[in-house]
Amino acid sequence: MDFKYIIVGAGLAGLTMAERIANELNEKVLVIEKRGHIGGNIYDSYNEDGILIHNYGPHIFHTNDRGVYEYLSNFTKWNDFWHRVLTYVDGNLIPMPITVETINKLYNLNLNCSQVEEFLNNQAVAIEEIKTSKDVALSKVGKDIYEKIFETYTKKQWGIDPSELDTSVISRIPIRLNRDTRYFNDKYQGMPTHGYTKMCEKMAANKNIKILLNTDYKEVIGQINYDVLIYTGATDEFYDYKHGKLSYRSINFVFETKDVEEYQQAPVVNYPNDYDYTRITEYKKLTEQKHNKTTIGKEFPCAEGEPYYPFPTKECKAQFALYEEEMKRESKVIFIGRLAEYRYYNMDAVVRRALDAFENLKSI
Ligand code: FAD
Ligand code: UDP
């Protein structure tokens, strides 16, 4: 079999590359996917009660990258959606991320914006060099808020102490000195009107794109002649684990359908201190679907299972650097995506990486 371009993985990275090659270069491309569906971790589907769920956890599109927003808008319309999260602390539901409302509810106060700034400045711990996620939180909000909101959630999510995690993890959560309770700051936010799978199907709807599902690329790659391999799977697997197995954090998603129209007050409720799960998502509140029942998803983080989160620690980065040396030497392979680059990328970053990689590919 001859294909100029082979793509391993039909997630967002792989499909963006496939779409660009098929449409702009008008070349044939074979996508090999080991799961039984396209979309990778953004895959969504209707469950037996007819409720649209995100099979691999809640996905909310948000970006400041106009190019990425416009690119994906070729394949979907967006519901005007601003994500909101509540967190369950000391028996109360309070807004996340930390805003003026959060501080007032947490301490039963009635401070204005500048008083909250002063309050947080008084709480903040002076740290000379911010090296870890724990330093980030302590230096911004102090010990009490760190312990109530970040410490145990992070231990549950990652299985290690925040003092062992890179600064980037807790830095994902903004601290706001105003009353804006939206979860994300980004200019463009939304949910695909008909879901992520429909968006992915449109990306793949080109006769130049052939998709082989339920197939590990290693089973077939020896029988295919190709010029370029675009690889979006795990890098350690690509190199047969020669520098050891990379660590990932996995999640066990447990779905429950309730015979009520509404389950909770926000699309996502975080549980930093109580219960073994980190958060509960009520999917109808993301998708705006109308239904007389509702499906919720609980997230139980775990060490074994599908590799969802690359581990942002010093040791893991050092181990990945050994693979990066190998990757640089490849002349026919392009590595992109959350698994292949071992980075905690959001969807927009993955699409940006793929669009940029495509521009490079065109120029060689
Ligand atoms: P993937 O989606 O992992 O796709 C890689 C594909 O390669 C998979 O389908 C896999 O089966 C396939 N593959 C791997 N190995 C092989 C092989 N050997 N042979 C064949 N196929 C193979 N981002 C946001 O922007 N907003 C959010 O709200 C958000 N929420 C998230 C929540 C959770 C719980 C998780 C885990 C991630 C979240 N993300 C979110 C991140 C988002 O899921 C990723 O950025 C994006 O899906 C990554 O796309 P990808 O193509 O790089 O990887
Ligand atoms: N986090 C936390 N408490 C919260 C929410 C988040 O401690 O209530 C920390 C935790 O370490 C988490 C990180 O902030 O892994 C990033 O949170 P985000 O909501 O971005 O995680 P994701 O949606 O990527 O799982």
Would you kindly state where each structural domain of the chain is located, as residue ranges? 5-38+204-244+311-363, 85-171
What span, in angstroms and rounded, lies between the C-alpha atoms of 227 and 217?
16
Peptide bond into 267 cis (omega under 30): no
Cα of 145 vs centre of ligand 1, distance in Å, is 32
| pLDDT of res. 2 | 87
What span, in angstroms and rounded, lies between the C-alpha atoms of 310 and 298?
21
Residues of the chain under the 70 pLDDT cut: none
The two tokens of residue 364 are: 């060689």
Residue pointed to by tokens 């914006």: 113
Report the b/e string of 53-74 with b at 16+ CB within 10 A.
bbbbebbbbbbebeebbebbee
Name the residue of 92, 138, 170 to mutate for ligand 2: max ligand atoms within 8 A of Cβ: 170
Q: Please state the pTM of the whole predicted model.
A: 0.97
Query: Which residues have C-beta atoms less than 6 Å from ligand 1?
Result: 8-14, 32-35, 40-42, 56-61, 216-217, 232-234, 237, 251, 308, 337-339, 345-348, 350
Nearest CA among 85, 9, 6 for reference residue 42: 9
What span, in angstroms and rounded, lies between the C-alpha atoms of 51 and 344?
29
- Out of 1.10.3720.10, 3.90.1300.10, 1.10.1060.10, 3.40.50.720, which CATH number does the structure's domain 5-38+204-244+311-363 have? 3.40.50.720
